[in-house]
């Protein structure tokens, strides 16, 4: 189906039905959809194999192929994500507060769905299931436009979920996929403010910039992750090396991977050789400033562009600084407001870092890889918001809701 007006109309109608749906019915539908993902695993993996073969033929780099790849374990994780959403409290219908005005009016705020959510995303087919689960639980219909790289995988996943919804007695139009991945259709989607209440782009900086600059629909920016780790002069070296290794190498092609290091000058002579040894064992190239290159010949000279780059590859930048203030200034200038960490034993510096670094998630002595909806206890996530309005950080159920005022009186007039 490529008639976007019809897709929009179907989604609008579905959102009305979802808004009326009781929690028990929503949870049962999510359970059946999770079961359907597992029961149809072979079909989904076969479709994914087609996408992988095309990606390899087109020379896609290995870190991005990893984002695209589905395995039995990852499918099980997608199904488990839906089951975890079932266990979460349903926020819809909650009345946050009621205050009685002097005139006797009772004024409160009630949590309600956003309505229709549009999501434009790249490569990662697990987003398809995660986005559906969170939107469905919060009474939102979702329109998905995945990238051409994952089109066969996304079609297979959406087909299975729609079958699960039908089995549960729910409208399958709670989830719709735009199968035409042409630029013309995505531009048309960005103009569908008649039907779509919010648009969420998940992908690289180019995609997000395009959506922000061209959409007539309100946009929640997500994703781009030039994440930093600052190693303070008081840091425990073993802890710092383990955290950097995990943050950079566990998965290269994810937005919460560390892309930039900042090292205090007082420890640079001793720490950098150990760092180079650890990262070189994982084939990580370090692009560093002149001083760091003089400490280790294995470092490659960095350009100005390197400090602001989200590599999603076996590359990391490194900058030596003389103080925590210089570290914070450097991070706030080059980061993407995603996730940044400090490794330190100094409490006051830890608090200063938490207070002054401008990011959605700020860590002390922990890996940036924890910036994730599941790790934060949200079951899954719709994305990592790097903006400041409405939602910030991993977006779970609450981020897909809004409120309306409810006012009860007994005949008051003004």
Across 75-86, average pLDDT: 93
Predicted local confidence at residue 2, as pLDDT = 66
Supply the CATH number for residue 361's domain: 3.40.309.10
Tell me the C-alpha to C-alpha distance, in Å, between residue 175 and each of 45, 95, 164, 236, 315.
Answer: 20, 27, 11, 48, 38
Average pLDDT, the chain: 94
Q: Is residue 377 part of a domain?
A: no
- Please state whether beta strands 384-385 and 393-394 pair in parallel, antiparallel, or not at all (unpaired): antiparallel
Q: Give the closest residue to 395 by CA, choosing from 405, 379, 381.
A: 381
C-alpha 405/C-alpha 111 separation (Å) is: 9
Q: Is residue 376 part of a domain?
A: no
Residue 390 pLDDT > 90: no
Q: Give the closest residue to 192 by CA, choosing from 385, 15, 17, 9.
A: 9
Predicted local confidence at residue 28, as pLDDT = 97
Residue 176 pLDDT > 70: yes
Q: How many CB atoms lie within 10 A of CB 362?
A: 19
Residue 196 pLDDT > 70: yes
In this structure, the answer to whether residues 90 and 217 fall within a common structural domain is yes
In this structure, the answer to whether residues 202 and 60 fall within a common structural domain is yes
Predicted local confidence at residue 237, as pLDDT = 98
Tokens of 111: 């949590």
Q: Is residue 260 part of a domain?
A: yes
C-alpha 316/C-alpha 299 separation (Å) is: 10
In this structure, the answer to whether residues 110 and 246 fall within a common structural domain is no
Predicted local confidence at residue 61, as pLDDT = 85
The total number of structural domains in the chain stands at 2
In this structure, the answer to whether residues 181 and 103 fall within a common structural domain is yes
In this structure, the answer to whether residues 157 and 286 fall within a common structural domain is no
Q: Is residue 413 part of a domain?
A: no
Residue 155 pLDDT > 70: yes
Tell me the C-alpha to C-alpha distance, in Å, between residue 124 and each of 159, 169, 226, 233, 304.
Answer: 17, 29, 19, 38, 30
Across 272-282, average pLDDT: 97
User: Helix 126-137 vs helix 23-39: angle between axes, to the nearest 10 degrees?
Assistant: 160
Q: Give the closest residue to 149 by CA, choosing from 239, 224, 65, 231.
A: 65
Supply the CATH number for residue 10's domain: 3.40.605.10
Return the SS3 of 12.
Answer: helix
Worst-scoring range by mean pLDDT, 35-44, 297-306, 324-333, 377-386? 377-386
List the beta strands (DSSP E) in 129-269. Answer: 141-145, 175-177, 198-202, 227-231, 258-264
Q: Is residue 244 part of a domain?
A: yes
In this structure, the answer to whether residues 238 and 339 fall within a common structural domain is yes
| CB neighbour list of residue 400: distance below 8 Å, 6 or more residues apart | 113, 114, 117, 134, 135, 138, 140, 382
Rounding to the nearest 10 degrees, give the CA dihedral for residues 113, 114, 116, 121: -110
C-alpha 270/C-alpha 240 separation (Å) is: 13
Q: Is residue 414 part of a domain?
A: no
Predicted local confidence at residue 203, as pLDDT = 78
Return the SS3 of 272.
Answer: helix
% of the chain beyond a pLDDT of 90: 85
Across 383-400, average pLDDT: 89
To which H or E segment does residue 285 belong?
A: strand 285-288
Tokens of 12: 């609008």
How many helices (H) and strands (E) in the chain? 14, 16
Instruction: Kindly give the residue spans of alpha helices, DSSP state H, lying in 315-359.
Output: 324-334, 347-356
151 versus 374: which is more confidently predicted? 151
In this structure, the answer to whether residues 23 and 109 fall within a common structural domain is yes
Tokens of 401: 């809701």
In this structure, the answer to whether residues 163 and 80 fall within a common structural domain is yes
Predicted local confidence at residue 122, as pLDDT = 83
In this structure, the answer to whether residues 17 and 78 fall within a common structural domain is yes
Across 192-213, average pLDDT: 89
Q: Is residue 308 part of a domain?
A: yes
Residue 46 pLDDT > 70: yes
Residues spanned by the domain of 103? 4-222+382-408
C-alpha 352/C-alpha 364 separation (Å) is: 11
Could you report the per-residue pLDDT of 2-30, keeping only the tens digit for each?
699 999 999 999 999 999 999 999 999 99
In this structure, the answer to whether residues 118 and 45 fall within a common structural domain is yes
Q: Which residue has the tokens 């008649």?
A: 194
Predicted local confidence at residue 94, as pLDDT = 94
Worst-scoring range by mean pLDDT, 92-106, 131-145, 227-241, 365-379? 365-379
Q: Is residue 290 part of a domain?
A: yes
Predicted local confidence at residue 95, as pLDDT = 94
Q: Which residue has the tokens 């103080």?
A: 323
- Please state whether beta strands 141-145 and 227-231 pair in parallel, antiparallel, or not at all (unpaired): unpaired
Confidence of residue 373 (pLDDT cuts 50, 70, 90): confident
In this structure, the answer to whether residues 208 and 75 fall within a common structural domain is yes
């Amino acid at each position: 189906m490529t008639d976007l007006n019809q897709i929009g109309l179907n989604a609008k109608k579905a959102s009305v039905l979802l808004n009326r749906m009781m929690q028990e019915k929503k949870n049962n539908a999510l359970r059946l959809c999770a079961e359907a993902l597992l029961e149809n695993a072979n079909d989904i993996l076969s479709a994914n194999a087609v996408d992988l073969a095309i990606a390899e033929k087109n020379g896609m780099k290995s870190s991005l192929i990893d984002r695209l790849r589905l395995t039995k374990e990852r499918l099980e994780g997608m199904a488990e994500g839906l089951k975890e959403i079932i266990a979460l409290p349903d926020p819809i219908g909650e009345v946050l507060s009621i205050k009685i005005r002097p005139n006797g009016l009772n004024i409160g705020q009630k949590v309600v769905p956003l309505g229709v959510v549009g999501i434009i995303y790249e490569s990662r087919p697990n987003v398809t299931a995660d986005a559906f689960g969170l939107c469905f639980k919060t009474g939102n219909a979702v329109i998905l436009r995945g990238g051409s790289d994952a089109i066969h995988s996304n079609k297979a996943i959406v087909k299975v979920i729609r079958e699960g919804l039908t089995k549960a007695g729910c409208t399958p139009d709670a989830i719709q996929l735009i199968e035409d991945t042409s630029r013309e259709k995505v531009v048309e989607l960005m103009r569908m403010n008649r039907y779509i209440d919010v648009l969420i782009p998940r992908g690289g900086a180019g995609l997000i910039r395009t959506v922000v600059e061209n959409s007539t629909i309100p946009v929640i920016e997500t994703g781009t992750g030039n994440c930093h780790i600052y190693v303070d002069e008081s840091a425990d070296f073993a802890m710092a090396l383990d955290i950097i290794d995990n943050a950079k190498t566990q998965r290269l092609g994810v937005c919460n991977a560390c892309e930039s290091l900042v090292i205090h000058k007082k420890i640079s002579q001793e720490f950098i050789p150990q760092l180079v040894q650890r990262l070189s064992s994982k084939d990580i190239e370090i692009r560093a400033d002149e001083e760091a290159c003089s400490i280790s010949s294995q470092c490659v000279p960095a350009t100005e562009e390197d400090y602001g780059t989200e590599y999603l590859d076996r590359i990391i930048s490194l900058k030596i600084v003389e103080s925590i203030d210089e570290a914070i200034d450097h991070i706030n200038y080059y980061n993407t407001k995603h996730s940044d960490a400090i490794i330190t034993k100094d409490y006051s510096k830890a608090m200063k870092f938490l207070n002054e670094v401008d990011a959605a998630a700020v860590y002390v002595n922990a890996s940036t890889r924890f910036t994730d909806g599941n790790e934060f206890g949200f079951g899954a996530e719709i994305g990592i918001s790097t903006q400041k309005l409405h939602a910030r950080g991993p977006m779970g159920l609450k981020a897909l809701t809004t409120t309306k005022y409810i006012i009860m009186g007994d005949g008051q007039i003004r």
